[in-house]
Amino acid sequence: MLALLVHQNVARKSKVRLGEGQNRIFFYRMIPQFTIVFLALLLAACSQPPLPTAGPGDPPVIPELARAAGEGHPVLFVGLDGADWEILDPYIQEGRMPNLAALSREGRTGILTTIQPPVSPLVWTTEMTGVSPLEHGILDFTRFHPKTGEREPIPREERRVPAVWNMASAAGQSVAVFGLWATWPAEPVRGLLVADRFSSFTASGPPPAGSVYPQDQEAWTQQILERAEREVDLAALRTYVPDLTEEEFRAAASRPDPYVHPVSALRRILVETRAYDTLARTWISEHRPDLSIVYFQGTDTIGHVFAPPPRAISSAPVESPVSRSSPPCVASSGLSGRAGGRRSMLDLWIRRRVWYSPWKLSVGASAYYRTGTPVTRYGYSDIYGRYEFFLTHRGAEGRTPDNYEADLHLGYPVAVGPATFNFLVDVFNVLNAQKAILVDQRWGFQEADNASPTPVNPGYKRPVLRTPPTSFRLGVRVSF
């Protein structure tokens, strides 16, 4: 935990009323003392180190903050999203995590009270700014672009207050920030900032422009990312999925949305984690910044993709969740979430199971149940040209409907000489529920509409996105 405290001392001036004669005597008698004090202050001022100056493109240094900051030890903040101490503590006791054990043993540990809802962008931005989500303005993973209307990862411009790296830069301290939420486009700092869209589960494709500050470090960061892509190869994935074939690896590496399949999701998580780890280690070792902040979201994402329900966790060896080598029943993928107010949306874990019948027919099924999300009135801002205001408390307008669905998979192998033809049938969204998962929350279209007692937008609370209808997919996989 990092806290930055700026303490300002304000000296009070006391006034003493003296007569003319008294004042003159006082003045003459105090000349030697004033001279000594003045010389002492002058020497003290000359002995102080000069205040840091801002380099080209760096944010300006505020002298008052620079003096208050002074000199101290470098600070390293490492954030592991979704890391559960109920899992980590047993691992530490068993000797599986010696580095974390050493940090706990040699430092201080404690339990912090989180905010509600404990959603990653809200929580981490609160930690970095010291204020509540209602004050800093980061309220979700994504937003609708005010001009195009397309959904996009939450950008930095939604944050309304300075973060700790802004404060440190203004105090003349060097910083290095890697991967934190709501940091794109990367803003000027006294050091390096690699924004969240450089690599994240909310971003797809190569890093967009503005992912790194300063701009002249973009080529270096891109080289690190490309190297991580090469290093997470078939051999690396077989560490986790021993029977993964080369064909399956190529398919995983080429998926435009890696999180639609557990193998491609695992590869993406490993690439992202390795890239941020290499960037942080290299920069910190070479530049020794005063403040370093390194955020890893893979510890959270891996749980959403693979984790079994909490009660199933044990210290026994766990088979690969995508293994096909242990019939008759294999867990292909899983997603877990906890209830009890942990999230604004309860996401019951999804698990796909594949049964192998005596007649070689394989049958797979997966299902999910998800509660609706809070509905809140969005108010328009004429100045910003976007929906900037929440006109009601979060969820005051109700919630979207709960939604649920199920998928079905059938496979049957036919051997023809040295080749095996596996005929596949997938039925998606078997229940054909087509539930609304997103509604229009815009109250009006201009700032004057925000005060209207009734919605000006005729489409208010109408569905704009539903779960897909039932669809089928037929396929043949040939192995030889």
pLDDT in tens, 368-403: 888 888 999 999 988 767 787 889 988 899 999 998
**pLDDT band at residue 109 using 50, 70 and 90 as cut-offs:** confident
The Cα angle at residue 149 between residues 145 and 154, in degrees rounded to 5: 30
Q: At residue 264, does pLDDT exceed 80?
A: yes
Q: At residue 46, does pLDDT exceed 50?
A: no
220: nearest Cα among 128, 287, 169, 293: 287
Q: What is the mean pLDDT of the chain?
A: 79
Kindly tell me the burial class for residue 301, based on how many C-beta atoms sit within 10 Å of its own C-beta (0-12, 13-18, 19 or more): buried
pLDDT value, residue 49: 55
pLDDT in tens, 64-90: 888 888 778 899 999 999 888 888 888
pLDDT value, residue 28: 33
The conformation of residue 321, written as its DSSP 8-state character, comes to T
The conformation of residue 344, written as its DSSP 8-state character, comes to S
pLDDT value, residue 32: 41
Helix (H, G, I), strand (E, B) or coil at 331: strand
11-20, 96-105, 291-300: segment of lowest average pLDDT: 11-20
pLDDT value, residue 98: 93
Backbone angles phi, psi at 457, to 5 degrees: -75, 115
CA atoms within 13 A of residue 364's CA, in its CB half-sphere:
23
**pLDDT band at residue 322 using 50, 70 and 90 as cut-offs:** very low
201 against 214, higher pLDDT:
214
Mean pLDDT of 223-229: 96
CATH class for the domain made up of 63-302: alpha beta
Beta strands in 156-210 (DSSP E): 175-178, 191-194
pLDDT value, residue 103: 87
**CA R_g for the chain:** 29
132-146, 260-274, 342-356, 454-468: segment of lowest average pLDDT: 342-356
Mean pLDDT of 16-43: 37
pLDDT value, residue 384: 65
pLDDT value, residue 417: 87
pTM, two decimals, is 0.57
Domain boundaries, the chain: 63-302, 317-479
Asked if 397 and 375 count as a contact pair (C-beta separation under 8 A), the reply is: yes
pLDDT in tens, 118-137: 889 999 999 999 999 989 99
Return the percentage of the chain with pLDDT > 90, whole number. 44
In terms of DSSP bridges, do strands 378-381 and 386-390 run parallel, antiparallel, or are they unpaired? antiparallel
Q: At residue 45, does pLDDT exceed 50?
A: no
pLDDT value, residue 129: 96
The conformation of residue 432, written as its DSSP 8-state character, comes to -
Q: Which range has highest mean pLDDT (51-55, 112-116, 355-359, 383-387)?
A: 112-116
- C-beta neighbour count of 84 within 10 angstroms: 15
pLDDT in tens, 136-165: 999 988 888 888 888 889 999 999 999 999
pLDDT in tens, 271-286: 999 999 999 999 999 9
The conformation of residue 25, written as its DSSP 8-state character, comes to H
Mean pLDDT of 256-270: 88
**pLDDT band at residue 314 using 50, 70 and 90 as cut-offs:** very low
| Dihedral angle of Cα 107, 112, 114, 118, to the nearest 10 degrees | 40
**pLDDT band at residue 323 using 50, 70 and 90 as cut-offs:** very low
pLDDT value, residue 433: 92
Asked if 199 and 88 count as a contact pair (C-beta separation under 8 A), the reply is: no
SS3 content of the chain, % helix, strand, coil (to 5): 35, 20, 45
pLDDT value, residue 123: 93
**pLDDT band at residue 51 using 50, 70 and 90 as cut-offs:** low
Q: At residue 100, does pLDDT exceed 60?
A: yes
414: nearest Cα among 463, 469, 360, 464: 360
Asked if 297 and 200 count as a contact pair (C-beta separation under 8 A), the reply is: yes
Return the percentage of the chain with pLDDT > 70, whole number. 78
The Cα angle at residue 19 between residues 13 and 23, in degrees rounded to 5: 65
pLDDT value, residue 441: 93
**pLDDT band at residue 357 using 50, 70 and 90 as cut-offs:** low
d(CA 32, CA 251): 86
175-179, 210-214, 286-290, 319-323: segment of lowest average pLDDT: 319-323
189-198, 337-346, 358-367: segment of lowest average pLDDT: 337-346
Mean pLDDT of 169-190: 95
State the distance between the two ends of the chain, measured CA to CA, in whole angstroms. 55
